[in-house]
Structure 1
Amino acid sequence: MSGAPVDPAPTDPAPGDRSAQLGPALQAVRERVTAAAAEAGRDPGELTLVAVTKFFPAADVRALARLGVGDVGESRDQEAAAKAAEVAQDGVALRWHFIGQVQSNKARSVAAYCDVVHSVDRAKVATALDRGAGEHGRRVGCFVQVDLAPALGEGADPARGGVAPDGIAAVAEAVAGGEHLDLLGLMAVAPREEDPARAFAVLADLAARLRRDHPGAVHLSAGMSGDLEQAVAAGATHLRVGGAILGPRPAPR
């Protein structure tokens, strides 16, 4: 699974267009990703840059699409569903990624527009997503979200979600057993106050264990604006970057 190349030059924006602000920031992130891939001996074409657009307007999504972005991430169903519908009406084709915690009662809606869900942390959520994807005649790629804190000797962080490492297998089986779901791999956020390199090394080890039972689960969703380099070094394939591209996040509405 791959996204738009991370290092093409952005198109020349019209004066006053939001693209004039987003373009240089996006190019800087693409250059960081390319440099990180080179440092790790990896092909940057293997990496998918997901621009996290939560709380930003659909106009910003359209501007990013004009700059060559093919993957965008959202975390709230109501906002994401409306934004995806608005952008689709304009004929803009994107891959939508859901990166927030999924409530089982929202899974049917999420499955209607999202191509990839990064935050499956319960079998119940996997079952609901599978049902919703079937109803809408779609396939949905799924990452199992892991809470790395227990493996790092820290307390769990409920605000961020994720299944404990010893629960990965059960959730992965629920996803793999879904008729309309594809198990992509693992996702995690580096715990606060933790060295991202150490956290992502633990994640990479957990991912290797998962692949023993699910050889096709070769993807790894890790890394954000502040730690994408460490994530690339650890084998991440999907980078979820918001602030470094779009700037300070507006207050949620």
Structure 2
Amino acid sequence: MRGVRIIRNVAPRIGNQGFMPDLAHNLDAVHQRIALAAQVAGRDPRSIALLAVSKTFPAEDIRAAHAEGQRAFGENYVQESLTKIEALSDLRASIEWHFIGPLQSNKTRPVAEHFDWVHSVDRLKIAQRLSEQRPDNLPPLNVCLQVNISGEASKSGVTPEEALRVAREVASLPKLRLRGLMAIPEPAGDVEQQRAPHRALRELFEKLRAEGLELDTLSMGMSGDLEAAVLEGATIVRIGTAIFGARDYSH
């Protein structure tokens, strides 16, 4: 990408229990990437929130990242996340929990009860259940409508063509606050190719805003396409590997 130097993840340090990421260094490197891409895009880097994707990593890693100033964490698996939320209950007042994975209708209740955000609302039924199950004593649950922006058969999400209708229905539900759109674009080779689906999501976002929906969030961009997402208007980037290192799914 012209004018942008991409800072990739650094080698992990070796800790007492094997390889552990240097979270302070990695977080700083990611913030540098965000700031550099924002500078090229003519944006204020403070308008882009970093969501640390902590799925498969232990609560201790989240606690360490929290100690370095990170506050928003993204989880994909309901049971795993509930275990970590409980283990980190002493930090609850200063942690923002985001559910970003596929959500089955029979698992919406614990998400409605324990999370602050859900990025992966991919159909109206999920939104309705989250609304019905959100406790009265909690503020409205922030949600994003997931859009299958690349049209992949393996990806969840509404189609761009049905996004306006579904978004209006979700926005009308009590105990939810529709904040914006989320997508996981198909991987692409270079930054210019990566920008195309992010641009399409931003244009859809702008269309929905023009139709009267009060949206403020574009959740897009991961470790490999962060720069493209920021250039196209992302307000939340979801970064896991570049912060915590490679994932181990063996357990």
TM-score range, shorter chain: 0.7 to 0.9
What do the CA deviations read for 1:185-240 (whole angstroms, capped 9, x no partner)?
A: 11111113472101111111111111123442121000000111110111100000
- Secondary structure of residue in 2 paired with 1:119: strand
SS at the partner of 1:223?
coil
CA RMSD of aligned residues (A): 2.0
Shift of residue 39 of structure 1?
0.8
Equivalents in 2 of 1:174, 1:85: separation in Å? 33
- Residue in structure 1 matched with residue 127 of structure 2 by the alignment: 126
Contact in 2 for aligned 1:127/1:174 (Cα 8 Å):
no
- Tell me, in whole angstroms, the C-alpha distance in 2 between the residues paired with 1:222 and 1:167: 19
> Which residue is 1:146 aligned to?
147
More moved, 213-222 vs 72-81: 213-222
* Cα gap change, 1:252 to 1:171, in 2 (>3 Å): farther
Partner of 1:207: 205
Instruction: Work out the CA distance in 2 between the residues paired with 1:174 and 1:134.
Output: 20
1:97 and 2:95 matched: no
Distance 1:186 1:105 in 2: 23
Matched position secondary structure for 1:51: strand
User: Secondary structure of the residue that 1:73 maps to in structure 2?
Assistant: strand
- Aligned positions of 1:65-214 closer than 5 A: 65-89=66-90, 93-134=94-135, 137-150=138-151, 156-158=152-154, 160-193=155-188, 195-214=193-212
- Shift, 1:157, TM fit: 3.0
Q: How far off its partner does 1:136 sit?
A: 5.9
Name the structure 2 match of 1:237.
235
Q: Distance in 2 between matches of 1:106 and 1:247?
A: 28
Once residues 117 and 100 of structure 1 are traced to their aligned partners in structure 2, the CA distance between those partners, rounded to angstroms, is 9
- The answer on whether the counterparts of 1:26 and 1:245 sit within 8 Å (CA) in structure 2 is yes
Q: Which moved more, 1:163-172 or 1:28-37?
A: 163-172
Distance 2:244 2:215 in 1: 30
Query: Which string of whole-angstrom CA distances, capped at 9 and with x for unpartnered residues, describes residues 40-60 of structure 1?
Result: 111111111000000000000
Percent of residue pairs identical: 38
In 1, Cα distance between equivalents of 2:204 and 2:129: 25
In structure 2, what is the Cα distance between the partners aligned to 1:217 and 1:157? 27
Counterpart of 2:4 in structure 1 is: none
- What's the counterpart of residue 249 of structure 1? 247
Matched AA of 2:95 = L
- Please, what TM-score do these two structures have when normalized by structure 1? 0.86
Deviation at residue 252 of structure 1 after TM alignment = 5.1
Tell me the alpha carbon deviations over residues 122-153 of structure 1, each in whole angstroms, 9 at most, x when there is no partner. 00000011011145634210110000123xxx
In 2: Cα distance, 1:213 partner to 1:95 partner: 30
- TM-score, scaled relative to structure 2: 0.87
Corresponding position of 2:12: none
Q: Which runs of 5+ in 1 are unaligned?
A: 1-14, 151-155
> 8 Å contact 2:73–2:98 — kept in the other structure?
yes
Q: How many residues align?
A: 233
C-alpha distance in 1, partners of 2:91/2:179? 29
- Taking the aligned partners of 2:56 and 2:137, their CA distance within structure 1 comes to 26
Distance 1:214 1:110 in 2: 28
Q: 1:145-165: CA deviations, max 9, x gaps? A: 000123xxxxx233x311111
